[in-house]
């Protein structure tokens, strides 16, 4: 019986006596390739390069400035609320130099959502971008955080606001004044318990929870991915498509998200590559950036991959020939989308990554030995990850049998910050229960079907929403979709589809209202022709302007479930209940 899955590749030394800043800026690790004069970062709009020496200097200056002005030190928590910015890692590492903790928050949040986080983590300072200053000031006032504890990450102070200290001000002050802070190396083993980051879970089924990630776990996940991508091997022994010094990554994935901060930001810099920092995602702007900076690596979430597949005409206007590696992660992507991406970029290595914040970020990733990740696979288990698959009856699955994935490894988080009850439900005897239904193969491939809580049960048959969503996206009139289960007295549940129409289909309907029902019928038939009867959209198809998603592209199905209860005819709901 295949009770335990464990990759053969050995994990290199994971230091447990340094913080993340020391590991990234100071540590000479045997797995890190030589950077030479390759810049770490590149500003998207200006093209300004930022080298490792500048990152070190600015991080030191900010740490000294924060210590002088705010007496920031051990265990103080700083909330970072910003879109991607060239000084995002500087702010992060400066807090770590001082022994503090960073809470990474979504800049798209409302004041009420930020208040919730502020009350959970009890921050000392907030470092915010000017674009969200109004929201942050409102949230700070409601949560009792003094306004003089707010710092601007950028240098633009909107009109009508009082003068607010900026990161640039603090760096300048810190560099010209005598050092007032003491930076210590951690005791042996201390990195395993000391919190580095509070990354918020997606909240797809309720309020977000702050996942406490230790310095050791964060560093371990970087090394797991680096070794998986053969960064530690001589270039002559590595495939030309894998991570190599001098490659250029498009940094469009948000840094506040676990995948953005780990895969996009830290892994790129550790591997001696250059990250082009993009403040905000826009599809056309992204294409311009790819062509202008000769991007080699794309790290995408499913909506961005879908945008490539749905905008073929636009793609022809840009030179995308430099792309040699595409990784899709943060949420499952359908086989149809993955196939389309392979057709669009025939020379590139394309695959998926799978993970969760409770394991820092990444559990599995496409292997560098595969030009194409297997369709539907979230990748192969990373070095150091141990996995089991639990069937519904609690027994252990063998290869190819479905069940819940449970994992453990060096990158496991410490738990949920100030939430012991939730921690006990997910972190059990050293194992993390993912809540995902998967199949594992003998080659360590992880095939993820869906969240167990989101599976639709039709007369006892399980229907994965992601499967139907992938089918819907292959219809020419569908730009985006979400499928949920709708209560039914006879069947238990029936699939209900929410569909965002393409621009062309929307124009047709505006010209002729009869197009609405014919399009609905065409979409329903498209699914019926391709899927088993119990997977048909018997609860109907609802058209909607946009699918609600969190920052990483995960669909917020609970919002649409609530929408269905509120908006569908009451007699329909009563009949089905």
Is the pLDDT higher at 129 or at 510? Answer: 129
Q: Region 93-120: what's the mean pLDDT?
A: 93
Who contacts 246 (Cβ-Cβ below 8 Å, separation ≥6)? 38, 272, 273, 274
For 270, phi then psi, to 5°, come to: -60, -35
Would you put residue 497 in left (φ > 0), alpha (ψ -120 to 50) or beta? beta
Q: Region 493-509: what's the mean pLDDT?
A: 92
At residue 308, the pLDDT reads 93
At residue 102, the pLDDT reads 98
At residue 568, the pLDDT reads 79
**DSSP reduced 3-state for 5:** strand
Mean pLDDT of the chain: 89
- The two tokens of residue 240 are 């030309």
The string of pLDDT tens digits covering residues 276-307 is 999 999 999 999 999 999 999 999 988 888 88
Residue 399 pLDDT exceeds 70: yes
Who contacts 443 (Cβ-Cβ below 8 Å, separation ≥6)? 380
Q: How far is CA 434 from the centre of its chain?
A: 16
**Enclosing H/E stretch for 456:** strand 456-458
149/69 Cα distance (integer angstroms)? 10
Q: How confident is the model at residue 460 (pLDDT cuts 50, 70, 90)?
A: low
Considering the segment(s) 20-446 as one domain, its CATH architecture is 3-Layer(aba) Sandwich (3.40)
92/199 Cα distance (integer angstroms)? 13
Report the predicted TM-score, pTM, of the whole model to 2 decimal places.
0.83
435/452 Cα distance (integer angstroms)? 6
273/38 Cα distance (integer angstroms)? 7
Residue 178 pLDDT exceeds 80: yes
CA-CA-CA-CA torsion for 23, 27, 31, 35, nearest 10 degrees? Answer: 100
Residue 208 pLDDT exceeds 80: no
How many angstroms separate the first and last alpha carbons of the chain? 42
Q: How confident is the model at residue 266 (pLDDT cuts 50, 70, 90)?
A: very high
Q: What percentage of the chain reaches a pLDDT higher than 70? A: 93
Enumerate the β-bridge partners of residue 328: 300, 352
Give 455-576's CATH code, choosing from 3.40.50.970, 3.40.50.720, 3.30.300.30, 3.40.630.10. Answer: 3.30.300.30
Rounded (10°) angle between helices 283-293 and 302-310: 90
The string of pLDDT tens digits covering residues 324-381 is 999 998 777 778 888 899 999 999 999 999 998 999 999 999 988 888 888 888 999 9
152: nearest Cα among 134, 174, 139: 134
At residue 537, the pLDDT reads 95
At residue 13, the pLDDT reads 92
62 and 128 Cβ atoms separated by less than 8 Å: no
**Residue 437 C-beta-side C-alpha neighbours within 13 Å:** 18
Q: Region 392-408: what's the mean pLDDT?
A: 90
Where are the chain's structural domains? Answer: 20-446, 455-576
At residue 552, the pLDDT reads 62
Sign (positive/negative) of CA torsion 188, 190, 196, 198?
positive
The string of pLDDT tens digits covering residues 515-553 is 899 999 999 999 998 888 889 999 999 999 999 987 667
């Amino acid at each position: 019986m295949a009770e335990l899955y464990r990759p053969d590749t050995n994990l290199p030394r994971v230091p447990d006596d340094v913080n993340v800043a020391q590991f990234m800026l100071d540590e000479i690790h045997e797995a890190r390739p030589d950077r030479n004069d390759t810049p770490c970062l590149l500003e998207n709009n200006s093209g300004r390069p930022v080298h490792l020496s500048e990152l070190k200097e600015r991080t030191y200056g900010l740490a000294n400035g924060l210590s002088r002005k705010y007496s920031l030190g051990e265990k103080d928590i700083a909330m970072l609320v910003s879109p991607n910015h060239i000084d995002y890692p500087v702010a992060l590492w400066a807090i770590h130099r001082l022994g503090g903790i960073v809470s990474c928050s979504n800049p798209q949040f409302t004041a009420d959502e930020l208040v919730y986080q502020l009350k959970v983590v009890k921050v000392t300072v907030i470092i915010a971008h000017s674009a969200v200053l109004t929201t942050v000031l409102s949230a700070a006032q409601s949560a009792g955080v003094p306004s003089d504890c707010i710092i601007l990450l950028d240098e633009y102070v909107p009109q009508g606001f009082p003068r607010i200290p900026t990161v640039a001000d603090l760096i300048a002050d810190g560099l010209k004044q005598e050092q007032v802070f003491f930076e210590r190396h951690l005791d042996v083993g201390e990195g395993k318990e000391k919190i580095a980051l509070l990354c918020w879970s997606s909240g797809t089924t309720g309020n977000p929870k702050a996942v406490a990630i230790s310095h050791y776990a964060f560093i371990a996940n970087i090394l797991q991915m680096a070794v998986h991508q053969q960064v530690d091997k001589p270039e002559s022994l590595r495939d030309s498509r894998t991570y190599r010094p001098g490659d250029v990554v498009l940094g469009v994935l948000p840094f506040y998200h676990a995948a953005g901060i780990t895969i996009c930001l830290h892994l790129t810099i550790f591997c001696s590559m250059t990250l082009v920092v993009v403040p905000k995602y826009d599809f056309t702007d992204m294409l311009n950036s790819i062509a202008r900076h000769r991007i080699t690596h794309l790290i995408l979430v499913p909506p961005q991959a879908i945008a490539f597949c749905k905008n073929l005409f636009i793609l022809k206007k840009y030179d995308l020939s430099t792309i040699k590696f595409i990784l899709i992660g943060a949420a499952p992507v359908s086989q149809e989308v993955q196939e389309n991406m392979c057709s669009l970029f025939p020379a590139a290595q394309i695959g998926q990554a799978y993970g969760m914040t409770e394991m820092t970020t990444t559990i599995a990733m496409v292997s560098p030995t595969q030009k194409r990740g297997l369709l539907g696979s979230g990748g192969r288990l990373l070095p150091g990850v141990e996995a089991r698959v639990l069937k519904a009856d609690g027994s252990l699955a063998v290869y190819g049998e479905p069940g819940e994935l449970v994992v453990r490894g060096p990158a496991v988080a410490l738990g949920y910050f100030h939430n012991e009850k939730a921690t006990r439900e997910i972190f059990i005897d050293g194992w993390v229960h993912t809540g995902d239904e998967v199949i594992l193969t003998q080659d360590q491939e992880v095939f993820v079907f869906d969240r167990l809580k989101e599976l639709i049960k039709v007369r006892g048959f399980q229907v994965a929403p992601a499967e139907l969503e992938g089918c819907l996206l292959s219809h020419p009139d569908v730009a985006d979709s979400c499928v949920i289960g709708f209560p039914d007295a006879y069947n238990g549940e029936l699939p209900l589809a929410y569909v965002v129409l393409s621009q062309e289909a929307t124009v047709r309907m505006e010209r002729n209202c009869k197009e609405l029902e014919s399009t609905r019928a065409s979409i329903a038939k498209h699914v019926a022709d391709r899927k088993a009867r119990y997977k048909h959209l018997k609860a109907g198809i609802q058209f909607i302007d946009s699918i609600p998603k969190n920052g990483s592209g995960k669909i917020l199905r609970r919002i649409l479930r609530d929408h269905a209860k509120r908006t569908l005819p009451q007699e329909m709901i009563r009949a089905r209940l």
